[in-house]
Chains A and B, each alone.
Chain A
Amino acid sequence: MSFFMEVLLGGLLAGVMYSLVAIGFVLIYKASGVFNFAQGSMVLFAALTFVSLLERGLPFWLAFVLSLLSMLLLALLLERLVLRHLVNRPPITLFMATLGLSYVVEGVAQALWALLALAFGLLPFIGNDYWFSAILIPFLVLSLAGLGLNLLTGYAGQLSLGSAAFMAVGAFASYKLQFLLPGLPLLLSFVAGGVVAAAVGVVFGLPSLRIKGFYLLVSTLAAQFFVEWLLTKFAWFSNGNESGVITAPPLLVAGHDFGSPAGRYLLTLSVVLPLFVLAGNLVRSSLGRNWMAVRDMDTAAAVIGIPILRTKLLAFAISSFILGVAGSLWAFTYLGTVEPHGFDLSRSFQVLFIIILGGMGSILGNFLGAAFIVLLPIVLSILSGSLLSGVLPAGQLENLQKIIFGVLIILFLIKEPDGLARLWQGWRARARLWPLRF
């Protein structure tokens, strides 16, 4: 009897899997008329990715989601690199192409999964703790903060010097809510911190309805000083700590501890990337166009029916939400312990530099700008340790850094107002063309 059950279950399981694969087949066939011969190797690819991730100690569900994501990425890549170039070709060509693909995918599945899973799967295992703690995590969090400010300033055209204030609100709200609502899941507390920051952002964004440009800067500056003062003055926000210091709770998600440097990196990445995807969708949607319209010419925007008030306030809300989440990550996954002064005006400036260097109105630019801001001090200190040792007194390093930043900001504003993102695009366009020059 037990043998029968075993066979029955095994058979059912196999059947379920075959039918899933078959559904994939039919879906592609019905939608595009292509008989996808690479289906089998894609199944293999997914399985290999999943098992490899499991073997490296990832929890089941995380490995599962990551495998799905990597398949999605693979499919997008195939579409971009291969299928797109075959549009409108006869079906037989497509069929042969999928046959060819099946060999490629199968042959390099082992190597490819490692490449694709680079960000998620590989880096945590090859990188050392210094990389995560001092480079990758702050890079991701600052990219996210840059994204928040970029939506408001780069896309909707509203200047702000209050970025750090909204980060602080997010961090302290996440922290406080963890105590007020025991058992609140960690990820949810990040979202809740973002929501509180969004509400505060809307309040400080209200003046934007009447004032513009530099006068608006003053209002956001008020937010910056007010929030810092409030969080330092009232110990309630930090659960009674006299100097307002908060310490992150254990980083548990669904029972799994993400407290190690690699874990904190993964946790940060899995919060930051989805937010980037959502923001990318938004700026290409009608809200994103409304933001840019208000930025470029608000009278014309009003005349074509864009609700100026709503559009601006949404920019403040969504921007502050993202900054709030970035603040929570800064406190929880990057520093672990933070005080209100960690979110002072110079932090706001740092975020502003990210978008000036990276590029206003660019999603990619936030990564480029953040990478620059994080790497420059490190590169400088390495340089001064080796090349310039003895030449440069230790205390001068910080000054040198300031000078370089200042000069770069000015250079960029003059020479390349669209930032690194534009340089990158130009470089890519040239790279695409270069074989044709011969």
Chain B
Amino acid sequence: MSQTVAPLLSLAHISLSFKGVKAVTDIGFDVAEGEICALIGPNGAGKSSLLNVINGVYQPQQGEIRFAGRARRAMQPHEAAVAGIARTFQNIALFKGMSVLDNILTGRNLASRSSWLEQAFRLGRAEADEEAQRAVAEEVIAFLRLQAWRHTPVGQLPYGLQKRVELGRALAARPRLLLLDEPMAGMNREEKREMSQFIREVNQVFGTTIVLIEHDIGVVMELSDHVVVLDYGRKIGDGEPAAVRALPEVIAAYLGQQRH
């Protein structure tokens, strides 16, 4: 990745604690436009907390977040969504009572231009607007091969498919930056392969920048352009996959005790 252009996302001196318990300490790194950046580290290292800081679920006590040229002390969730950041969660956060299609359509809510009064009376822009959102949702459904479950309530789907629907909801927003928190956790080998393929395609076809958390070091090495290693809330490695893998601190702290 070229270093001359400004990075899409840049974190500086981020510190976050919960009632005095430090989750993230003085972390900074850059994510270039178009790259796949993997966040790795043992459980409790602060990876999820960091994603939550990036899209405003948590507000750090210190630091600065610069996204797409705009610097902020902290993000707000709505602000982050408007700026073009979408994400999935470690523990699936789908809308359980809604169908696959409706879940994916919620990802389009910011693109909806018609007012609720127009929607109630089906007047003005409402019809065309709804059509447009449905068209995008159908593209996402086709891309993720979810056609067969379009009208199934997501609560009834198996775990692997739910993960895919959650990715779909994030993709429906056509984000600039996609944050994926353990998208392959709990999946079998086949499902992992499929999910990696989807992630790579999203990155290559739509040019979406991706930050993902993943434990499977093989997948990380294969998928990512850039790896950031966390341990006890601190950054202990940052660079190209091969270089990071060779760092002694990393071998000691993470690769030495990786999950099986």
Contact = CB atoms under 8 A, between A and B. Distances in A.
B197 to A, nearest CB: 24
Given A285-B116, A286-B109, A297 B95 contact: yes
A281 interface: yes
A303 B57 contact: yes
Interface of A: 278-279, 281-282, 285-287, 289-290, 292-293, 295-297, 299-307, 314, 318, 361
Main DSSP-derived SS at the A contact region? helix
B221 to A, nearest CB: 29
B37 interface: no
B82 A305 contact: yes
A301 B86 CA distance: 11
Interface of B: 55-57, 77-78, 80-82, 86-87, 89, 93-98, 102, 105-110, 112, 114, 116, 119-122, 126, 129-130, 133, 169-170, 173
A296 B97 CA distance: 7
Contacts of B106: 289-290, 293, 301, 304, 306
B98, B102, B116 — most chain A CB neighbours (10 Å): B116
Contacts of B82: 305
Q: In the complex, which of the residues A290, A296, A304, A361 has the most CB atoms of chain B within 10 Å of its own CB atom? A: A304
A290 B103 CA distance: 10
Contacts of B107: 304
A286 B121 contact: no
B96 to A, nearest CB: 5
A295 B130 contact: no
Please give me the 7 A-B residue pairs with the lowest Cβ-Cβ distance, nearest first: A305-B81, A285-B119, A296-B95, A300-B93, A302-B77, A305-B110, A286-B112
Contacts of B55: 303
Contact of B96 (A296, A301, A314): A296
Contact of B109 (A279, A297, A306): A306
Nearest to B87: A303
A189 to B, nearest CB: 21
B77 A287 contact: no
A304 B173 CA distance: 8
Given A285-B130, A304-B86, A304-B173, A314 B121 contact: no
A300 B173 contact: no
A292 B97 contact: yes
Contact of A305 (B57, B78, B105): B78
A431 B234 CA distance: 62
B130 A304 contact: no
Contact of B120 (A282, A295, A296, A306): A282
B109 A314 contact: no
B117 to A, nearest CB: 9
Contacts of B112: 286
A296 B78 contact: no
Contact of B119 (A282, A300, A303, A307): A282
A286 B108 contact: yes
Nearest to A303: B77
B94 A300 contact: yes
A278 B137 CA distance: 24
A300 B95 contact: yes
Given A300-B89, A304-B107, A282 B95 contact: no
A314 B116 contact: yes
Given A281-B119, A297-B94, A302 B105 contact: no
B98 A278 contact: no
A341 B55 CA distance: 49
Nearest to B116: A287
Contacts of B81: 303-305
A281 B80 contact: no
A304 B169 contact: yes
A278 B56 CA distance: 35
Contacts of A299: 57, 77, 93
26 contacts: A278-B120, A281-B121, A282-B116, A286-B105, A286-B108, A286-B133, A287-B119, A289-B98, A290-B106, A292-B98, A292-B102, A293-B98, A296-B94, A297-B93, A299-B77, A300-B94, A303-B56, A303-B81, A303-B87, A304-B86, A304-B110, A305-B78, A305-B81, A306-B78, A306-B106, A361-B97
Contacts of A303: 55-57, 77, 80-81, 86-87, 93
A217 B179 CA distance: 36
Contacts of B122: 281
A278 B121 contact: yes
Contacts of A361: 97
Nearest to B80: A303
A364 B107 CA distance: 27
B46 to A, nearest CB: 19
B57 to A, nearest CB: 7
B78 A307 contact: yes
Given A281-B121, A302-B57, A303-B93, 17 more contacts: A278-B120, A282-B119, A282-B120, A286-B112, A287-B116, A295-B97, A296-B96, A296-B98, A299-B77, A303-B57, A303-B80, A303-B86, A304-B110, A306-B106, A306-B109, A318-B116, A361-B97
A168 B221 CA distance: 65
A282 B119 CA distance: 6
A306 B129 CA distance: 17
B175 to A, nearest CB: 10
A4 B27 CA distance: 94
Contacts of B57: 299, 302-303
A363 to B, nearest CB: 13
A156 B81 CA distance: 21
B211 to A, nearest CB: 14
